[in-house]
Structure 1
Amino acid sequence: MRRMTPALLGLLLAFPLALFAQQPPPPPEQDVVAAARKAREAKKNAQKAKFVFTNDNIPQSPGSGPSVAGPAAAPAEPSVKPAAGASPEEDRKKEEAEWRKKFAEARGKLATAEKELDILQRELNLNRQQYYSDPNKTLREEYTRGDVNKGKADIDAKKLEIAQLRAALAALEDDLRRAGGPPAWARP
């Protein structure tokens, strides 16, 4: 390696110092203050909206939804009839409670059926591996496998029941949508 000359070394040290020394001064704060004042004045002078649309003042009509090809479905009647002196808020809360109750019952039935299916599958696995100490029963079950066949039939029936419960839950969600209820009512 070559030796660095003192002049070259001094130049390398002075170059970064020269760069830091040439930074521009920060802009004066008065420009920022003046810009803020101008922005406030422009905001005051801007025209305000004459009418603001909200969900409360948008006209609601049953035919204003998106057009769908095919025959028009009959609108579903709400399951809760408004009382003579009840307010719309109370009616809405009662309707929400009723829908949530329906969904809770449907989900409860589905959860129970799924737990029963799990138990049936465990019993089937146990029957497949079970050892009988009675030799006569062992010989009989070796050919007929009645316990295993009954377990399989029970599992198939429970799977069919679960599929029906899921279809009923989906139909309930469709009924809620047709009745005009918010999708949040279907959630737990």
Structure 2
Amino acid sequence: MRAADRPEEATDWARRGVAAHPGNPYLPKLNDELVDPLVAAGRREEALAVHRDAFARTTVLAAFQPLARTASELESPDTVTWALDLLRTRAAENPTYVRELISCLRAAGRSEEAWQTAVGHLGELSKYTIQELIEERRRPIPPTRSPRTGDWSTSTWPRPATSTATSTPSGTSRRSAPSTANRAPKRSSPRT
């Protein structure tokens, strides 16, 4: 209908489609068919509301990505913050949302927060998710120039300052100490 220069009818049919399939975030094309003409018409808040409603119904990465894309296009970082806060709340109430929270944090470019979330919820994550996060942290960051000194530097993801205490999965702390597990016991031999 849009190709036939009937944008109002196209928007109406897209709205009907979204209403008929409200809980399926895996059909983002349908939401986009509604959002695109709203954005083109300057109906910014209405366009964001379509994606917010879809994400509120089903807080998964498939619903977050179009929301984040539209929020970026419309320069609305508060919308992304709202979505992540909603998912943080749901993850606190139900740990099955932790994996989606981590995926959405990564999609939003918040890799360090995704890592910290994973560390706090190791028991709820698959080994594949943990491995992906570890691999992501190992990837080098492209060289950057310091604005203060002008020097070039290369690094990996920022890590917290190290100390003599190491973090354990349960969130407790233990002191690092030399390991004696692989040392042979001292033997005293009788002198003859």
Q: TM class, shorter-chain normalised?
A: under 0.3
Larger relative contact order (Cα-Cα within 8 Å, sequence gap ≥ 6): 1
Greater C-alpha radius of gyration:
1
**Greater percentage in helix:** 1
Give TM-score, length-normalised by structure 1: 0.19
